[in-house]
Homo-oligomer: A and B are copies of this chain.
């Protein structure tokens, strides 16, 4: 479930990005928010809100659903995480400093999610919206299947 070599580095990097982004934008990267982001980054699989809650509760007696959902809203708003609508689950954003539209490859076997932001695909989506005279505001693109590693087993 790591797909990234040394996963600690991966988490570390994400937390530092978050720190930097919040600093730059005058946002408060509180202990709670940091901890939720850390839990989400524990691996590359999508994390469910109530699983986050279950973890938080162990360290933080007053954790309740709003505790988690508020942190999630904050992280989503500032693009530090994404919600996968097809799974009702959340993943860390793997390039919060360079946002365009993103899409996701979600492995059914190992649950690893890879975030892609290819120019070509983005262009194809835009073209299609334009062809229908549709003004595109938000795009949800989630592909589930099997990742390279799982296919090779």
Contacts and interface: CB of A to CB of B under 8 A. Distances in A.
A48 to B, nearest CB: 15
Interface stretch (A21-29, A65-73, A91-99, A143-151): A143-151
Given A138-B143, A140-B141, A133 B151 contact: yes
* Total identical chains: 2
B141 A141 contact: yes
Contact of A121 (B124, B135, B137): B124
Interface stretch (A5-13, A37-45, A56-64, A112-120): A112-120
- Give 6 nearest A-B pairs by CB, closest first: A124-B124, A133-B148, A137-B145, A85-B85, A140-B142, A85-B86
Interface of A: 85-86, 103, 105, 107-108, 114, 116, 118, 120-121, 123-125, 127-129, 131-148, 151
